[in-house]
Amino acid sequence: MTLRVLYFARLRERFGVAEESIEFEGVSVADLIATLQARGGVWAEELAAGRAFRVAVNQEVVALEAAIPDAAEVAIFPPVTGG
Amino acid sequence: MKADAMKVVVQSEPFDLGAEVAAISQQRTDIGAIASFVGLARDSNDGSGVQAMTLEHYPGMTEKALVTLVDEACTRWALLDVTVIHRVGRLLPGDPIVLVAVASSHRGEAFAACEFIMDALKTRAPFWKKEETPEGERWVDARVSDAEAAERWDGIE
């Protein structure tokens, strides 16, 4: 399935991309993170276990175990700092 | 509270606290209390001077997240109206960043809900601050104290 994946703030700058389309073979958020980690470099570094990042699926923050529906909008971003 | 009584806005323009509070109480006489909070851009953070900051957000999710936490406040307290305005873009020290105004019959609900909404916004609304300091630009890190402030509402009525 095809996912629209967005990156924000520090992660957008580190990855050098704001948005991309990804052909995804997995099921869960954890599978997507593993796919991105496999790119190596900053991807492996920023998305390593223990690093603080959040994942939203269709604009709601979810846990790593959550399933990703077809054609979902997935966003990966640092912990928020508004207000 | 009716859903249409709620005002949730993300904008780059400044806001006027007085005008927002006046709009809440206009043409009604059932409100006994309006509690408001305004967050400002500070000129220092973590031991560095801050010359400016830029607020980024996640269009679409931001508005949804803000409506969700205002809905939660309306479930917990008897509220008559809520306004939340959050600015994005480049701001200078002294500029207002965020406004929360809560109307209720009595002050207790208004104070509590206003603080709850700010605590929830700090940890759940997708905004990010980048500061310009004499040492260069830096993204602000999330604070443990903000997470703790949000968590203390869990289980409290």
**Any domain includes A82:** no
Please name the residues in contact with B103: beta carbons below 8 A apart, sequence gap of 6 or more.
B24, B25, B31, B33, B34, B79, B80, B81, B82, B110
How long, in residues, is chain A? 83
Please return the burial class of A83, using the count of CB atoms within 10 Å of its CB with bins 0-12, 13-18 and 19+. buried
Task: Give me the residues of A, 4-63, that contact B with CB < 8 A.
Answer: 6, 8-10, 52, 56, 59-61
A56 to chain B: which residues are within 8 Å by CB? 58, 61, 126
B101-115 residue pLDDT tens: 999 999 999 999 999
| Contact between chains at B56 and A59 (C-beta distance less than 8 A) | no
B10-23 CB burial, b ≥16 within 10 A, e <16: beeeebeeeebbee
- Mean of all residue pLDDT scores within chain B: 95
| Contact between chains at A82 and B98 (C-beta distance less than 8 A) | yes
B59-96 residue pLDDT tens: 999 999 999 999 999 999 999 999 999 999 999 999 99
Position B5 scores a pLDDT of 73
* CATH code, domain carrying A44: 3.10.20.30
Domain coverage including residue A64: 2-77
Using the predicted structure, report yes or no on whether residue A36 has a pLDDT greater than 80.
Answer: yes
Give mean pLDDT, residues A20-44. 97
**Any domain includes A47:** yes
Contact yes or no for B97/B128 (Cβ under 8 A):
no
Domain count along chain A: 1
Of A8, A60, A61, the CB nearest to B56: A8
**Residue B56 touches chain A, beta carbons under 8 Å:** yes
Structural domains in chain B, sorted by start:
3-151 (3.90.1170.40)
